Amino acid sequence: MEPICKLLLYVTLLLLPNSILSSPECNFPAVFNFGDSSSDTGALLSMFGQPAAPPPNGETFFHSPAGRVCEGRLLIDFIGLGVLYLSAFLDSMGTNFTRGANYAIVGSTIRRQNTTIFQSGYSPISLDIQYAQFSNFLKRSQIIRQKGGVFKNLFPEEYTFSSALYTFDIGHNDLTAGYQLNMSTEQVKAYIPDVISEFTTTIKVITAAQVDKHGCAAPFNDVSRYFNLKLKEAIIQLRKDLHLAAITYVDMYSVKYSLIAQSKKLRFGDPFLVCCGHGGKYNFNIAMRCGWTKMVNGTKIVVAKSCIADHLGRDSLYRGG
């Protein structure tokens, strides 16, 4: 099965699924990077202009400032897709996000800072803010693609997010920020668990945004499978404790997942569309539930209609062979 997503935490840790490490080649449709100055490809430059990264930055390879706080290229330019010049999310000037986006910015930290970048040199765009930007991009990019025309060619396709490479290069600013506030080494050590906790939490929520090859939310389904495993173990123990009782265990998750995975083969159509709903990707609108009505020109009409008629039609087709 295709991995949910690929995470690359370079500098201090490499985290990749075994299926990738054993693969002769890695073909990622896109890269999404989170970090600080070590992987900023233009965010600071976009916010503050050339004074933020003046010459000699960029002179060796780009021959002019290119958003990187170095004279040439960064590690992120070579990771994932050979040589890829990943566009900064904050760069709105002719940017193409088809192959991913970069949320890194100079001075960023994992934990939020209570100072401005002008006061301390540390960016207010911490990792949680970078995630918020990614989450917004994940949702809105597909809406914008649907407009067609030039917009369709500027944003990644939906499948890209579950097959992309996700890289994180961030954390050392969290340590120096403490010393900048005149903290002792012991005080800096004391808040490191909080930094790590926020880091792992962000990775979890980013991963949770992914879907498996059938379009299901893989992390949540993993929780369901784990629940069923523990439930089955509990049932086995209950049978021992209540030997006069007949207890039957039915795994409805596996049945429903099989129906969704084989929906086309079983001629169910789109398994993610709500049968009785209104609007949206899944034909579901929490403000317009099944059977709800509204007045149109003085007449009450059902807005969220049932698809029972369609089901009856298909049932007749099945019975008729």
Q: Given this model, what pLDDT does residue 82 score?
A: 62
Label residue 224 by pLDDT band (50, 70, 90): confident
At residue 167, φ and ψ (nearest 5 deg) are -120, 145
Q: Given this model, what pLDDT does residue 209 score?
A: 63
Q: Given this model, what pLDDT does residue 317 score?
A: 34
Reported as a single tens digit per residue, the pLDDT across 126-143 is 999 999 999 899 989 988
Residue 295 has which token pair?
Answer: 């007045």
How does DSSP assign 23-65, residue by residue?
A: SS----S-EEEEESTTT-SSHHHHHH-GGGS-TTTTTTTTSS-
Mean pLDDT of the chain: 80
Reported as a single tens digit per residue, the pLDDT across 235-262 is 899 999 998 888 888 888 888 888 888 8
Nearest of 192, 184, 180, 205 to residue 107 by alpha carbon? 180
User: What is the Cβ-side half-sphere exposure of residue 109, based on CA atoms within 13 angstroms?
Assistant: 21
The position carrying tokens 């990077």 is 33
Q: Given this model, what pLDDT does residue 9 score?
A: 57
Q: Given this model, what pLDDT does residue 64 score?
A: 87
At residue 46, φ and ψ (nearest 5 deg) are -70, -35
Q: Given this model, what pLDDT does residue 183 score?
A: 92
Is the CB of residue 48 less than 8 Å from the CB of residue 54? Answer: no
Q: Given this model, what pLDDT does residue 312 score?
A: 45
Which stretches of the chain are DSSP H helices? 18-21, 43-48, 117-120, 127-145, 160-163, 172-180, 185-208, 218-241, 252-261, 308-319
Over 60: is that where the pLDDT of 52 sits? yes
Q: Which one-letter DSSP state was computed for residue 217?
A: -
Mean predicted confidence (pLDDT) in 289-316: 67
12: left (phi over 0), alpha (psi -120 to 50) or beta: alpha
Label residue 218 by pLDDT band (50, 70, 90): low
Q: Which one-letter DSSP state was computed for residue 302?
A: E
Over 60: is that where the pLDDT of 5 sits? no
Containing 7, the helix (H) or strand (E) segment is strand 6-8
Stated pTM of the model: 0.63
In three-state secondary structure terms, 221 is: helix
Give residue 102's Cα distance to chain centre: 13
